[in-house]
Amino acid sequence: MDYKDRPYFHVAHARDLTGWDKILYRILEIIPGLLAWSTLIGVVVLSFLKPVWAAIFIIIFDLFWLLKTAHLSMHHFHNWRRMKHNIKVDWSKQLSKLKHEDIYHLVLLPFYNEGEEVITNTIDALIASEYNKKKILIVLATEERAGQEAQDLANKLKSKYGDTFGDFLITTHPSGIPGEIMGKGPNITHAAEEARKKILDFRNIDYKNVLVSAFDIDTVVWPKYFACLTWNFLTVEDPQKSSFQPVPLYNNNLWQTHAVSRVAALTSSFWQMIQQERPEKLVTFSSHAIPFKALYEVGYWQKNMVSDDSRIFWNLFMANDGNYKAVPISYPVSMDANLAPTTFQTFRNIFRQHARWMWGVENLPYMIFGFIKNKKIQTKKKIQHTIVQLEGFWSLTTNPIMIMILGWLPIVIGGEAFRQTILSYNLPIITRTLMTVAMTGLILSAIIATTLVPKMPQDYKRRKFRWVIMFLQWGLVPFTIIIFGSLPGLLSQTRLMLGRYVGKFWVTPKHRK
Amino acid sequence: MKPLSKKARLGSGIALGIIFLILAPILLANSFGYHWEKVEDVFTFVKAGGIYVGSEISGVEIYVDGEYFKDSGLFIRNTLVQDLKPDTTHTIVVQKEGRHDWRKTLPVYESLVTESKVLMLPIEIEKREIFPFMIGEVGTTTPDKDSVIGKGISEEFLVEGYIPTNPLYKELVNSFSEEVLNVYSTSTIVSSSEIPTLGEEPLATSTEEIIPQYFTDLGIDDPSALENLIITSDQMAWIENGNIKLTWIDDEKPPFYYCFEIDVCDNEIIIDWQDEILKFDFLPGRSDVFVVMVEEGVYAIEADGRSDRNIQPIYTGTDLDFNKSIRDQIVVKDGLVFYEMRI
């Protein structure tokens, strides 16, 4: 039996299984949280009982972190150069050398109750893209639970833009289907299946020639996105076993939103840029593209869990016995940074959005469970992915806390005898020095960020001051990586460890000033 | 443009890994106080000790055993002097233009840090006269429009027959007065024996009241008999035989200035002055420095007696008195004039 036909292929959590499988899956769900809490509690206990050991661990860890930062900065810088290069490349000219006329792009735009301005921005960018619009098939995926207002808006947009594209389909995902969560996954899965029946089959389009871009409703494509994507699709080895990942830049509204939101958003973008240079570690995230045939074969995105964007990669990886990859195209798509009517709401939304992203840890037990079950996947790949994913979630959650807070702990709770040692005095000096050197990497981030910022609106006053703030805001990173990185990560891992699964996809509100 | 090649990434990883392997032991050795030293023409790995120089002043120059060590910089105040030969003493001198030098000879122990805190008062301490009447920001000695003629109040507390209007001045007159608590009130007359000194807890003089345990521990039956008694949350000090007796009364281990060797601490310090100490108080913001009044003037002296105590003048002259103001500043009374000392 193919792996995709096995009963646990679309498992969301341990509760969906029975017997030993359930026990095994449950243990795997506990591991990330257990690792994170063991580390944090371990450092606290060690600082109390064996402060010298704790200090040694912290110094070595700080040095490791500094060098890791340097290593990642190199990836970041290279990807920034590559992305800037790819933005300039004439992809249409490149494409003209290839047979590409049969390729279609099915663009899924799931929306719930976002405003017309957000959707028109997205569609206007699609129209502005340098690609044959008749090869772009739009699916505006609405939700029945959003009510008549959303339907009316969809119909209005179809009548306005319908003739511009190869097709413009409105789908309505029914509400209250058993086994589905309220979220993006069920909606785009429904939309993709509707599009298959009503567009692809109707027009007799070969599934092999269709690339599905699963976007968010605020995803604004850059002009050469489709040309670049098509070129990558046509030139990559084994295209039907490849997903394609653009760089998600959360920069649509950078000038309108709060400095904290900007830093949190750009930090997420930068992490994705780093991952673009480490393809063996890359997993689809947020807006991504998948060959329709591969997608159809695995039954589209899972409808019973939240982080469908990354899960689809693991579905495909398992279904293809490990012979599936995510291809970084190093070309940007833009999305909104968090913005709400009030600062507090903005901060709350950032936290909730990041908590949802961090809930991607639910893919870790699925991945390891699949590795155990699927004997056809190379052991090397299994080990590599397990280490990468485990280390990724562990470091994201624990490292900022260890570096920013726990570094001083042995001095505080290590006792008087330890406080008199040279080691105790040197610990904060070394930690501070290493962190200061590491933070110089922020200057690179600040420089890169300024090149990714959209044009400042003409009516803005105090323009130079705003640019200064745009640069200085990077000083917030030590706080944002803990508050919007570690804490939501720890929350998600703890929930998974305790079996308190997230059962609803929290839709990030899109607010425009 | 191609992605970062595996070769480049691997190269970076290996290079950084090598740097890690080299730096980690060096950092750790340095953290533990190890350093390379030439002993009899041979470089040896030796374990050292250090001295922590705590300071509230930035930009000081530090000298160790007569040799320049470092400038603490514009923002850094505290300095750790490392790589000092253990099991011997080292002399630290801290200097800054316009301030008194601070000099201390301290013992150093292997892998441990000897703590210290500098006392560096300005050589010329800015002083501000506190005037009796309020006119403008500075004040005046001439009665202002709000002044009232003092009736029923002793002549010595009036200025040109008027009650002073400057509240700070009045507070100072009250605090320096030995006779009454509030000299400008005709209704509230309180005996000076009931006046608690600033920073002092009210004493139990009544036989019904319980005397705190730390007095009993020290064999003191009648705390009210102690001269110039000052009690803080963890220390107690009073004048005994013309010297200051400072006692640690907290359960925690006493701070560094009670410890004459590492981990060998006494709970009692005697600050011995060649002449009789007439009055003392803690220097504002410091629990290890006293302001003392002797016949020749008012001085600051540190409690730390591990080597010669640093003594620095605040105000010299005879027939002086001093107190702390409500703004926690030292105020010196020279004759009839009050000076707030900007230390």
| B281 belongs to a structural domain | yes
| B314 belongs to a structural domain | yes
Per-residue pLDDT for A438 more than 70? yes
Residues B108 and B206 in one domain: no
In this structure, what CATH number is given to the domain that contains residue B71? Answer: 2.60.40
Mean pLDDT score, A473-494: 93
Task: Please tell me the predicted confidence (pLDDT) of residue B178.
Answer: 65
Residues B219 and B321 in one domain: yes
Report B:89-118 residues touching A (Cβ under 8 A).
Answer: 111-113, 115
Per-residue pLDDT for A81 more than 60? yes
Cα-flanking dihedrals φ and ψ of residue B108, to 5°? -125, 140
Task: Please tell me the predicted confidence (pLDDT) of residue B196.
Answer: 43
**Of the listed ranges A140-154, B26-40, B89-103, the one predicted with least confidence:** B26-40
Mean pLDDT score, A64-89: 94
Signed CA dihedral, A114, A161, A452, A96: sign only: positive
* B54 contact A CB<8A: no
Residues B209 and B318 in one domain: yes
Residues B215 and B326 in one domain: yes
For A307-323, write each residue's pLDDT tens digit: 999 999 999 999 999 99
* B53 contact A CB<8A: no
For A29-64, write each residue's pLDDT tens digit: 999 999 999 999 999 999 999 999 999 999 999 999
Closest Cα to residue B81, out of B109, B53, B48, B118?
Answer: B53
Mean pLDDT score, A203-210: 96
In chain B, which residues have their Cβ closer than 8 Å to the Cβ of A430? 27, 30-31
Residues B308 and B209 in one domain: yes
Task: Please tell me the predicted confidence (pLDDT) of residue A344.
Answer: 92
Q: What is the DSSP string of B11-80?
A: HHHHHHHHHHHHHHHHHHHHHTTEEEEEETTEEEEEE-EEEEEE-S-SS-EEEETTEEEEE--SS---EE
Cβ distance B4 to A330 less than 8 Å, yes or no, reads: no
Q: Is residue A511 within 8 Å of residue A340, measured between CB atoms?
A: yes
In chain A, which residues have their Cβ closer than 8 Å to the Cβ of B50? 422, 425
Mark which of B58, B93, B117 sits at the end of a domain: B117
Residues B336 and B219 in one domain: yes
Task: Please tell me the predicted confidence (pLDDT) of residue B169.
Answer: 84
In chain A, which residues have their Cβ closer than 8 Å to the Cβ of B1? 81-82, 85-86
Which band of pLDDT confidence, cut at 50, 70 and 90, is reported for residue B179? Answer: low
In chain A, which residues have their Cβ closer than 8 Å to the Cβ of B33? 422-423, 426
Cβ distance B27 to A63 less than 8 Å, yes or no, reads: yes
Residues B337 and B203 in one domain: yes
**Average model confidence (pLDDT) for chain B?**
85
Mark which of B89, B117, B145 sits at the end of a domain: B117
Residues B99 and B225 in one domain: no
Please tell me the total count of domains within chain B. 2
Which band of pLDDT confidence, cut at 50, 70 and 90, is reported for residue A264? Answer: very high
**Of the listed ranges A222-226, A246-250, B98-102, B187-191, the one predicted with least confidence:** B187-191
- Reduced to 3 states, what is the DSSP secondary structure of residue B88? strand
Mean pLDDT score, B273-278: 90
Beta-bridge mates of residue B330: B324, B341
Which band of pLDDT confidence, cut at 50, 70 and 90, is reported for residue B208? Answer: low
For B221-268, write each residue's pLDDT tens digit: 888 889 999 999 899 999 999 999 999 998 888 999 999 887 788 999
Per-residue pLDDT for A214 more than 60? yes
| B33 belongs to a structural domain | no
Task: Please tell me the predicted confidence (pLDDT) of residue A354.
Answer: 92
Mark which of B54, B84, B117 sits at the end of a domain: B117
Which band of pLDDT confidence, cut at 50, 70 and 90, is reported for residue B194? Answer: very low
Mean pLDDT score, B41-50: 86
Mean pLDDT score, A429-438: 87
Residue of chain A nearest B5, judged by CA positions: A277
CA atoms within 13 A on the CB side of A38: 8
Cα-flanking dihedrals φ and ψ of residue A155, to 5°? -65, -40
A309 to chain B nearest CA, in Å? 24
Residue of higher predicted confidence among B103 and A511: B103
Per-residue pLDDT for A273 more than 70? yes
Mean pLDDT score, B122-146: 80
Query: Which of B24, B48, B111 has its CB closest to that of A421?
Result: B111
B12 to chain A nearest CA, in Å? 7
Residues B101 and B206 in one domain: no
Distances (CA, A) of A360 to A231, A453, B220: 30, 28, 69
| B162 belongs to a structural domain | no
Closest Cα to residue A281, out of B61, B137, B3?
Answer: B3
Task: Please tell me the predicted confidence (pLDDT) of residue B190.
Answer: 36
Query: Which of B12, B23, B253 has its CB closest to that of A416?
Result: B253
Task: Please tell me the predicted confidence (pLDDT) of residue A445.
Answer: 85
Here the ipTM equals 0.86
Which band of pLDDT confidence, cut at 50, 70 and 90, is reported for residue B189? Answer: very low
| B193 belongs to a structural domain | no
Which band of pLDDT confidence, cut at 50, 70 and 90, is reported for residue B191? Answer: very low
For A392-433, write each residue's pLDDT tens digit: 999 999 999 988 877 789 999 998 889 889 999 999 888 888
Report B:308-327 residues touching A (Cβ under 8 A).
Answer: none
| B168 belongs to a structural domain | no
Beta-bridge mates of residue A71: none
A257 to chain B nearest CA, in Å? 32
Residue of chain B nearest A416, judged by CA positions: B253
Report B:196-255 residues touching A (Cβ under 8 A).
Answer: 253
Mean pLDDT score, A112-119: 91
Mean pLDDT score, A460-475: 88
Tell the residue number behind the tokens 């080895």, with chain if given: A237
In chain B, which residues have their Cβ closer than 8 Å to the Cβ of A416? 253
Q: Is residue A497 within 8 Å of residue A33, measured between CB atoms?
A: yes
**Average model confidence (pLDDT) for chain A?**
93
Report CA Rg, chain B: 27
What is the CA angle B107-B110-B114, rounded to 5? 40
* B34 contact A CB<8A: no
Mutation site, A59, A422, A436, interface B, largest B CB count within 10 A = A422
Taking the C-alpha atoms of residue A505 and residue A299, their distance in angstroms, rounded to an integer, is 20
In chain A, which residues have their Cβ closer than 8 Å to the Cβ of B23? 63
Cβ distance A64 to B20 less than 8 Å, yes or no, reads: yes
A427 to chain B nearest CA, in Å? 7
| B323 belongs to a structural domain | yes
Distances (CA, A) of A270 to A221, A263, A444, B12: 18, 10, 11, 19
In chain B, which residues have their Cβ closer than 8 Å to the Cβ of A429? 80
For A360-375, write each residue's pLDDT tens digit: 999 999 999 999 999 9
Per-residue pLDDT for B202 more than 60? no
Per-residue pLDDT for B195 more than 50? no
| Domain, as residue range, for B236 | 199-342
B4 to chain A nearest CA, in Å? 6
| B217 belongs to a structural domain | yes
Per-residue pLDDT for B170 more than 90? no
What is the CA angle B142-B144-B145, rounded to 5? 150
Q: Is residue A480 within 8 Å of residue A262, measured between CB atoms?
A: no
In chain A, which residues have their Cβ closer than 8 Å to the Cβ of B113? 420-422, 424-425
Per-residue pLDDT for A28 more than 70? yes
